[in-house]
Structure 1
């Protein structure tokens, strides 16, 4: 909460000549994932970004005012909570990635290490779920808890490497562009639509000056991997990726990206590959166009070829099962018939 409050102070200073000094609901819109910690993060940011002034002070002993933070249930969140589920095509891409030679070799190289972690944590740790161990230890370190004796700096470094490899499995390695269209491209598309709307002179006024999203480290990773600006370092607490729209003297628009990943530090400029530092908005949109789906629900469906293959396999399996059941029935019938015949006395026995 202290880190997010400090981030709010940083944003207040950075945009002091752009945002109103007092809260105006027509100026800012805030949305969070429906998770307690991200909702609280947004509220901590806003407490410092908009301390109450004048008539907004409703209690003299409270330097705070309530500011709306919007959300939707996790199952309905289609652009902030990652990985976005309910997408068969993405699930298939993920399975293909896990089954790839690169991932399997990584698993084999680290199997003894993962077995050791599993033994220490009493939990089955794999390359896919190792992030849960690393994330727990990272949180404990941030809050000044002493790590368990087995969590040496060397172990933490290796966990960090595997944690980042897990992000690669989710968003890169195999058919990266298609994964982006089904994952990080959703958030990117939402951001660019908001920005484009802000440049449209026909948009009714007053217009929003800031849209703030409060989410998770993996949300930033998905976005930055889609943009190909991810540094390979898991974003720490209170990281902030900023998109800033500027109108130049000639009336054209440029788009800057800044990333602040440490408390008490200045944000650093990110450059979109194939563009300049202050990227013309239309170039930014053109370069990222293939990363954004026009109809994600349609793209999430399995291709007709894949569906046909799976249907054929399902039918073949069903036929095999029916034949197996039929053979078992016949064998059972013959066994019962043979057993029944063995119990019928012969004519000689009857005469005896």
Structure 2
């Protein structure tokens, strides 16, 4: 009898010890980063278009349209270095094709931006050096022609329903009330740039701002009329037009036809990353300010400001200690500061994947071509 009690006591102790070990494992196990997707804006580039009255025609003759500048290369290289620091314990030290996929719009400055970022992300190790005078390695960057880009080159203009929504937006009382303040300014710009008032559309306003910013940053003499106050007002007008493109009026309907397409693709990659056989760790997209604005509008986290050069939106998928998957989002719009945490409206910052998908489901379209029809 005494021996039986002793055996029972030993089994009880063993059972309690096993429970303690399980509890200890659960409390000390770390949450794991499983997948990262990022969408970034290109670095500084030469103008894509000079305004008719621009005196610096030599810029395009010497350097060409939309070419990444030395500053732009540096901005993107530093973004890549930041990625390496942030994900040093997640990505392999050396480039592995199975771990990362990179896609860019088919524009010189976005393709160059992707390459410069990858150079910062994957500095060569001793075994990888193929020429001691060239500390660089080629890494694939995928693209499609702009006419076939239904992912990154936003806004997608070849969508009749979107064009109708945009026309509606421009006629709303709220938009017209805000645009009214800029009508004298638009006439001022037409007078001094050489553009007719009809040609000062959204895209041309953005390109004009890019040109003046490039010339100011690179010590070209600006026109007398392009004062700091004028350039600040041009930024404000550009931001108003950017918000009108993707939000402002019928935001959900617009997002279904614009930024929701990229969001749906990113969520598909995130969902696939939960499989134990999945080897890919990162998908990187090189796009434009409009790409980030459309994506963040679809997420309802856009701050209304023009994304600066090399701005980057991060999605991080984690597996928590209890096995649940969560998404965290960050926005890096200043290289001197840590990225801003972004919280999806209706969820906490560390948002469960199922809840995240449920909240964004209204902007995820199933048949884009069908919905684009009038």
Give the secondary structure class of the aligned counterpart of 2:267: helix
Residues of 2 paired with 1:9 and 1:145: CA distance?
30
Are 1:139 and 2:214 matched, yes or no? yes
Residue 244 of structure 2 aligns with which residue? 169
For structure 1, list consecutive stretches of 5 or more residues without a partner in the other structure.
Answer: 303-352
Are 1:110 and 2:182 matched, yes or no? yes
Q: Deviations over 1:104-128 (max 9, x none)?
A: 3334332211111111101135463
Give the secondary structure class of the aligned counterpart of 1:119: helix
> Do the aligned partners of 2:239 and 2:305 also contact (CA within 8 Å) in 1?
yes
* Number of equivalenced pairs: 299
Please give the residue correspondences for 1:220-231 in structure 2 after superposition, counting only pairs within 5 Å: 220-231=292-303
Are 1:195 and 2:270 matched, yes or no? yes
Residues of 1 paired with 2:241 and 2:98: CA distance?
40
Are 1:259 and 2:259 matched, yes or no? no
* Aligned Cα root-mean-square deviation (Å): 1.5
- Cα offset, 1:85, TM superposition: 2.5
Residue 229 of structure 2 aligns with which residue? 154
Residue 292 of structure 1 aligns with which residue? 364
Residues of 1 paired with 2:261 and 2:149: CA distance?
11
- Cα offset, 1:57, TM superposition: 1.4
Residues of 2 paired with 1:180 and 1:144: CA distance?
39
Residues of 1 paired with 2:75 and 2:216: CA distance?
15
Q: Which has the higher contact order (CA 8 A, sep 6+)?
A: 2
Give the secondary structure class of the aligned counterpart of 1:257: strand
Residues of 2 paired with 1:107 and 1:267: CA distance?
32
Residues of 2 paired with 1:104 and 1:268: CA distance?
32
Residues of 1 paired with 2:214 and 2:288: CA distance?
13
- Cα offset, 1:144, TM superposition: 4.3
Residue 256 of structure 2 aligns with which residue? 181
Residue 7 of structure 1 aligns with which residue? 79
From 112, 137, 141, the equivalent of 1:40 is 112
- Cα offset, 1:152, TM superposition: 1.9
Residues of 2 paired with 1:273 and 1:139: CA distance?
36
TM-score using structure 1 length:
0.82
Residues of 2 paired with 1:173 and 1:92: CA distance?
14
TM-score using structure 2 length:
0.77
Give the secondary structure class of the aligned counterpart of 1:40: helix
> Do the aligned partners of 1:80 and 1:215 also contact (CA within 8 Å) in 2?
yes
- Provide closer, same or farther for how the CA distance between residues 159 and 18 of structure 1 changes in structure 2, counting only shifts above 3 A: same
For structure 2, list consecutive stretches of 5 or more residues without a partner in the other structure.
Answer: 1-72
Residue 93 of structure 2 aligns with which residue? 21
Residue 65 of structure 2 aligns with which residue? none
> Do the aligned partners of 2:243 and 2:304 also contact (CA within 8 Å) in 1?
no
Residues of 2 paired with 1:159 and 1:75: CA distance?
29
Give the secondary structure class of the aligned counterpart of 1:78: coil
Give the secondary structure class of the aligned counterpart of 1:140: helix
